[in-house]
Structure 1
Amino acid sequence: MSAGLNKVIIPVAGLGTRLLPISKSIPKEMVPVLDRPLIQHVVEEALAAGLNEVILVTRGGKSAVEDHFDSHYEIEAELERKGKTALLEALRGIAPPELKITSVRQDRALGLGHAIHCAAHLIPSEEAFAVILPDVLVKPQVDDTGCDLKAMVAAFQSQQAAQIMVERVPLERVDQYGIVDCDGAEPAAGECLPIKGLVEKPARNQAPSRLSVIGRYILPGTIMQHLAETGPGAGGEIQLTDAIADLIRQGDAVHAFRMSGRTFDCGHIPGWLQANTVLGREAGLLEPDRGDASV
């Protein structure tokens, strides 16, 4: 597996049904968290990790996602004329010079594995790449400036093993996630351990651990061939977890990297509201939670 790593695939072709009615006419990736849309949060995360070649897997009706990273001469000229330097710099910072964005189309919604395989022609078999799911924001703990994705890239470069980011969830929620099996062990935060297998949404009494997959992956280019040969799995869709399971069965090293930060599932209304509330308070944009004012 090559140590070079600068490409990231971000699937943005989903319908966003969990965010309806907000996402009826607005791509879910353009729904804002604080002062910027979800897609900008995850592209900034990718850049912080050294991943500057972004491949968007998109579909019709999602042009706003691509347009967000275009320059807008009229707005920039007006901001410059009015001397609004800080806002102008923020606008230009959306797409810094090192960022390279390519878009490919997913013609049918056949699952995450299918979406990733749509970019197969851009990923050489000897080249590793990352995957970020934009529904989930990964943010550092308060007073921490670290980047879990950057740390996972370092783990990949050190171990030369595919990486899957995980977090520990309560037992009563394991049936909502893909759960990794590290043969009874659990890595400490910021560390990784080999994965023995993956189980998609196991029953609570059958879960091999409480470590859930959270939508950040570093994978070898050879997984594209596995995806090409993977048939429909759960939900009749081509599942990325099935292709990763094939990698493990053939003896490729796949590690679980345990994050140290926090996740916000912005793919549904409660999680999106939580992200805006918690991060808004931390940024000083909202009043702090003072509890029940009547007490």
Structure 2
Amino acid sequence: MEITKVLIPAAGIGNRFLPYTKAVPQEMLPLLNYPAIHYAVDEATSCAISNIICITNKEKSAIAHYFDENNDLDALLKEKNQESLLVDVQKIMRTAEFTYIRQSEPLGLGHAIWLARNTIYKEYFGLILPDDLIFDKQPAFSQLLRIAKQEKATVIAVQEIPIEQSSSYGMIAIKKQLSPSLFQVSQIIDKPNPIHSPSNLGVIGRYIISHKIFTSLEEINRYGDNKELSLNDAINNMIQNNEKVFAYKIQGTRYDLSTPLGWLKANIGLALQHPHYSPHIRRFIAEFDLASHFFTDQLTVKNNKHFL
């Protein structure tokens, strides 16, 4: 099994980051000195993926600009002996070929995937959601690649989720457990009430998918009642048509970039691992914590005076 294409959906409105996303794509939120989508593309290219397919909308031109040549900037940095500032982006541009497909209206993740049907033929392809930032010694997508080649089937990434959060995830029902981290899936239940969740394993944003997903998307579009196309429904349709689907419990630290709090945690987490920023951030946190305790103590003393 050879996988050469990764699909990155980046057409969402980014409601949780308004009004910022009124002007700037959510995928361009900075994580230290790189935009969020850079990490998704870097993860793909680190696994020898040579074709990146981005699903965007008319407001997301900044994404294409970021991964495009900028001869004026190159010349300016060369003149100032600062070419190293663009090394990482240039490496990606030389490694991968980018295709951009426009989604004219937000009709669901399944619809975004369906738009790529003419660029993906009878082959497996990757899907990376840039909202999920995952760090491990072995990239999350590389972990899935190993399982997909082993099982020769669709593989979705899962993570243990606190059961009270099940209503925010697609939760898998397990047909068979093959190892502590590998499961054959019987169904994905979309955002179940905690008391109805079939397991504590929630789907996160890494997939390797058979081209047969396009047939399933067309079927649920033809017979379904919803305006939006659901990827989970399409995967369930594949399972009903005797296509094996596996779930793999990804190793690594995951940050949810779909919320401001998750984005803040990701920046702090990245900074704490960065050789230059780490000592400064650790010192700042220690000083901030000390100042907070001092403020709390002073407030307690002040309040207690009212009772003396």
Fold shared, TM-score > 0.5 on shorter chain: yes
Aligned CA distance change for structure 1 residues 123 and 94 (closer, same or farther; 3 Å):
closer
* Contact preservation (8 Å) 1:194, 1:255: yes
> How far did residue 241 of structure 1 move?
0.4
The two structures have a TM-score, normalised by structure 2, of 0.87
2:264 to 270, 273, 288: 273
Q: Which runs of 5+ in 1 are unaligned?
A: none
Tell me the distance in 1 between the aligned counterparts of 2:74 and 2:125.
34
In structure 2, the residue corresponding to 1:193 is in which secondary structure? Answer: strand
1:138 to 134, 137, 146: 134
Aligned CA distance change for structure 1 residues 88 and 66 (closer, same or farther; 3 Å):
closer
Alpha-carbon RMSD across the aligned residues, in angstroms, is: 1.9
> How far did residue 91 of structure 1 move?
4.4
* Counterpart AA for 2:134: V
1:282 to 260, 266, 273: 273
Aligned CA distance change for structure 1 residues 175 and 194 (closer, same or farther; 3 Å):
same
In structure 2, the residue corresponding to 1:212 is in which secondary structure? Answer: strand
In structure 2, the residue corresponding to 1:195 is in which secondary structure? Answer: strand
Q: Which runs of 5+ in 2 are unaligned?
A: 295-308
Q: Which residue of 2 aligns with 1:162?
A: 154
In structure 1, the residue corresponding to 2:258 is in which secondary structure? Answer: coil
* Contact preservation (8 Å) 2:74, 2:83: no
Which fold has the larger relative contact order, with Cα–Cα distance below 8 Å and residues 6 or more apart in sequence?
A: 1
Larger radius of gyration: 2
* Counterpart AA for 1:279: L
Q: Which residue of 2 aligns with 1:223?
A: 213
Q: Which residue of 2 aligns with 1:43?
A: 41
Pairs within 5 Å for 1:69-108: 69-95=67-93, 97-108=94-105
In structure 2, the residue corresponding to 1:120 is in which secondary structure? Answer: coil
> How far did residue 235 of structure 1 move?
6.9
Percentage of identical aligned residues:
32
> How far did residue 51 of structure 1 move?
1.9
* Contact preservation (8 Å) 2:157, 2:206: yes
* Contact preservation (8 Å) 2:154, 2:208: yes
> How far did residue 50 of structure 1 move?
2.3
Q: Which residue of 2 aligns with 1:149?
A: 141
Bigger CA drift: 214-223 or 232-241?
232-241
* Contact preservation (8 Å) 2:177, 2:184: no
* Counterpart AA for 2:161: V
The two structures have a TM-score, normalised by structure 1, of 0.91
**Number of residue pairs aligned between Structure 1 and Structure 2:** 285
Question: CA offsets per residue over residues 10-33 of structure 1, 9 Å max, x none?
Answer: 111111111112211001111111
> How far did residue 186 of structure 1 move?
8.3
Bigger CA drift: 283-292 or 33-42?
283-292
Aligned CA distance change for structure 1 residues 235 and 197 (closer, same or farther; 3 Å):
same
* Contact preservation (8 Å) 1:80, 1:88: no
> How far did residue 267 of structure 1 move?
1.3
1:20 to 14, 18, 26: 18
Aligned CA distance change for structure 1 residues 198 and 40 (closer, same or farther; 3 Å):
same
Bigger CA drift: 154-163 or 80-89?
80-89
Q: Which residue of 2 aligns with 1:255?
A: 246
Aligned CA distance change for structure 1 residues 94 and 128 (closer, same or farther; 3 Å):
closer
> How far did residue 174 of structure 1 move?
1.2
